[in-house]
């Protein structure tokens, strides 16, 4: 198969296409770090499976309240996990809302509603990020 080299312009769609791949792979990596850490922090004795799954999706101390962990401050709630949560939220929310935008724009095409839908999704994206960072840092 002969291949040709194409130099793509740095358009918004191209950047988001790359971002979707990178953020998707990063989310899998972050989930693996979360799962392995939850095993290391006490899966055998203190953590049940639902908690392990919740921690894998989002390592927030609120996600382990139903487990029999004696002291959450020991390893489960610290600055490292806050950074992890913000990374997961940023990658996940951006990846998700961008994917939502792509799906919607596939079906509406070039319509007069497109800029409004883009603006609405942008507002939802900003709102979700602000809410999530507030929850991670101040609650």
Binding site for another protein (CB under 8 A): 1, 21, 24-25, 27-28, 31, 48-50, 53, 57, 62, 66, 96-97, 99-100, 103, 109, 128, 131-132, 135, 139
Q: DSSP secondary structure string, 114-128?
A: HHHHHHHHHHHHHHH
Radius of gyration of the chain (CA): 19
Q: How far is the CB of 72 from another protein (least distance, A)?
A: 15
Residue 41 CA to residue 75 CA, distance in Å, equals 7
Residue 70 CA to residue 26 CA, distance in Å, equals 31
Q: How far is the CB of 24 from another protein (least distance, A)?
A: 4
Q: How far is the CB of 42 from another protein (least distance, A)?
A: 16
Q: How far is the CB of 87 from another protein (least distance, A)?
A: 16
Residue 86: both structure tokens together: 């913000």
Between residues 13 and 48, which has the closer beta carbon with respect to another protein?
Answer: 48
* Total Cβ atoms within 10 A of residue 53: 14
Residue 114 CA to residue 99 CA, distance in Å, equals 15
């Amino acid at each position: 198969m002969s291949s040709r080299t194409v130099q793509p312009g740095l358009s918004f769609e191209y950047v988001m296409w790359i971002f979707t791949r990178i953020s998707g792979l990063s989310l899998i990596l972050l989930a693996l770090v979360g799962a392995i850490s939850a095993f290391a922090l006490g899966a055998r004795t203190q953590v049940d499976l639902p908690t392990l799954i919740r921690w894998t999706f989002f390592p927030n101390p609120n996600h382990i309240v139903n487990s029999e962990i004696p002291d959450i401050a020991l390893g489960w709630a610290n600055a490292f996990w806050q950074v992890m949560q913000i990374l997961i939220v940023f990658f996940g929310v951006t990846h998700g809302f961008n994917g939502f935008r792509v799906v919607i724009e596939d079906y509406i095409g070039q319509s007069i509603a497109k800029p409004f839908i883009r603006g609405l999704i942008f507002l939802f994206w900003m709102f979700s990020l602000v809410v999530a960072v507030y929850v991670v840092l101040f609650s």
